Amino acid sequence: MEGINAKYVSQKISKTRWRPVSSSSLQQPDIFATGSWDNEDNKISIWSIGENGISSMDDEFEGDPQLVCEHKHNGDVLDLQFLDQDRIVTASSTGAVIIFRHHHNSQTLSVSQLWERAHHYPCDNAPCTGIVCNSPEIVTVGEDGRIILFRADQEGVLRTIENADSSTIHAVTFLRTTEILTVNSIGQLKIWDFRQQGNEPSQILSLTGDRVPLHCVDRHPNQQHIVATGGQDGMLCIWDVRQGNMPFSLMEAHSAEMWEVHFHPSNPDHLFSCSEDGSLLHWETSSNSDTPSFLQGGRNTSIVSRSALAPAGGNQSLISSWLTGDSSKGRLETTHMLPSQTLSVNSLDVLGQCLVCGTDGEAIYVNRRVPI
């Protein structure tokens, strides 16, 4: 909890995301974007946590996040991802998918592309609930059960999977460049292969008979077959999609909906989750292999960010510590990262040593010294 300060921003925050940094410079991120929800006028905003980064380690009062610029957003921001250094994709409750451009010189935001009513019902709007980017490709999912594939540089829609789901799809992630995984409100994970025509998933996984809605999903940054999901009961599930219909492990985490779960992009033995119950958890599993886990990642990527894909290959043969882990033997440690608070933590993002999260209490918390 040390070094984590609340910044009250007068809007309920639905999403927070770091701007990706180039990994070669070993730089810590210093810019993040937030989206608001449930306001009369919703906004997306860009914040800076200071130019000098963490130059003074013992400085108690590190700079508050400062607002750089903001832009009106029609409808609630239901998801937000950086496409690259200066483009942000948002999912709106109006069903629109919007690309904003952040002009670094003038420090302004503008709409660079808008797909109105991308998600819709026959005569009403359907909220777009999730986005995943693998520049230039953008995949969106929505309450209408559609999966839509866009390209940032094309106006039209590349592909739509109608009726991909009979219930709401809550989140989506890339498994490989042509394969995505979605989670829905009846507790299923569906894998879709864009190389296949037709509107059927290539695989469906679920916790048999449970039907607990899943709200978030994240893929292990180096091992594409490992995904973490979080659901309405606050349970954290780790799945190995190659084998079995059952999750590899189930861990009790939160007492209410888990809204987001993220592996640390460069140190995947660490995982973070946040929930409606107002808590933010840091999970740490000790790696079994002798190889330090930081060597398992792909060093040759130019951009390190969760929205970008790590290169395939790498050390696939290594068994992830998440799959060998046994929470009952105390190999898994969890730490609360926020002081007690009652209102939902809707979103978190972690990059390098920096973590940012946003709450319904209209506060943003930034921690620049996450023990990774």
Tell me which residues touch another protein (CB under 8 A): 8, 10-12, 37-40, 75-76, 78, 93, 121-124, 126-127, 129, 143-145, 163, 165-168, 185-188, 190, 204, 206, 208-211, 213, 232, 256-257, 276, 341-344, 360-363
CB of 49 to another protein, least distance (A): 19
What is the 8-class DSSP label of residue 328? G
Residue recorded with tokens 């909220």: 127
Q: Determine the Cα–Cα distance for residues 206 and 212; give it in Å rounded to an integer.
A: 9
How far apart CA 169 and CA 115 sit, in angstroms, is 19
CB of 260 to another protein, least distance (A): 12
Closest CB to another protein among residues 65, 213: 213
Q: Are strands 203-206 and 214-219 parallel, antiparallel or unpaired?
A: unpaired
Nearer to another protein, 200 or 333 (CB): 200
CB of 209 to another protein, least distance (A): 4
Nearer to another protein, 267 or 344 (CB): 344
Supply the minimum distance, in Å, between the C-beta of residue 113 and another protein. 23
Q: What is the closest distance, in whole angstroms, from the C-beta atom of residue 239 to another protein in the complex? A: 17
Question: Do 175 and 181 meet the contact criterion of CB atoms below 8 Å apart?
Answer: yes
Which one-letter DSSP state was computed for residue 372?
-
Nearer to another protein, 125 or 267 (CB): 125
The residue with tokens 């918390």 is: 365
Specify the residue, 190 or 264, whose C-beta has the smaller distance to another protein.
190
- Cβ proximity to another protein: between 169 and 309 the closer is 169
Instruction: For the CB of residue 289, give the shortest distance to another protein in the complex, in Å.
Output: 37
Which is closer to another protein, CB of 213 or CB of 352? 213
CB of 363 to another protein, least distance (A): 7
Instruction: Tell me the closest approach of the beta carbon of residue 191 to another protein, in angstroms.
Output: 13
Cβ atoms within 10 Å, residue 49: 23
- Encode 240-259: b = buried (16+ Cβ within 10 Å), e = exposed: bbeeeeebbbebebbeebbb
Pair of tokens at residue 128: 């777009």
- Could you give the CA distance from residue 122 to residue 214 in angstroms, rounded to a whole number? 26
The one-letter code for the residue type at 23 is S
Burial of 326 (0-12, 13-18, 19+ CB in 10 A): exposed
- Which amino acid would we find at residue 35? G
At residue 356, the 3 state secondary structure works out as strand
Can you tell me whether residue 294 is helix, strand or coil? helix
**Closer Cβ to another protein, 198 or 209, answer by number:** 209
